[in-house]
Chains A and B, each alone.
Chain A
Amino acid sequence: MRVRMRLFGPFKEIAPAADAWRELREGETVAGLLELLQREAVLPAKLLLASAVAVNQEYAQPTRILLDGDEVAILPPVSGGRP
Chain B
Amino acid sequence: MKVALQREPIDTAALHAEIKAGSDGAVCVFDGIVRDNTRGRRTLHLDYEAYEEMALTQMRDLAEQAIATFGVRDVVLVHRLGRLHIGETSVFIAVASAHRGAAFDACRWVIDTLKKTVPIWKKEEFIDGAVWADGEPFPDDIAGVKP
Interface residue ranges, A against B (CB under 8 Å): 6, 8-10, 13, 30-31, 34, 48-54, 57-62, 73, 75-81, 83
Known: A10-B132, A79-B121. A62 touches B51 (CB 8 A): no
The 22 sampled A-B contact pairs (Cβ below 8 Å) are A8-B119, A13-B132, A34-B145, A49-B146, A50-B137, A50-B143, A50-B145, A57-B51, A57-B53, A57-B57, A59-B117, A59-B144, A73-B51, A76-B132, A78-B115, A78-B118, A78-B136, A79-B48, A79-B115, A79-B133, A80-B133, A81-B115
Query: How many residues on B have C-beta within 8 angstroms of the other chain's C-beta atoms?
Result: 30
Known: A73-B54, A78-B119, A79-B120. A62 touches B132 (CB 8 A): no
Extra contacts besides A10-B121, A54-B54, A77-B136 (5): CB < 8 Å? A8-B51, A76-B135, A78-B118, A79-B136, A81-B115
**B36 to nearest A CB, angstroms?**
14
* CA A48 to CA B133, docked complex, whole Å: 15
Contact (Cβ within 8 A) A51 B49: no
A9 B121 Cβ-Cβ under 8 A: yes
Task: List the A side residues contacting B142 at CB < 8 Å.
Answer: 52, 59
Contact across chains for B121 and A76 when beta carbons are under 8 A apart: yes
Residues in chain A near residue B145, CB distance under 8 A: 34, 48-53, 62
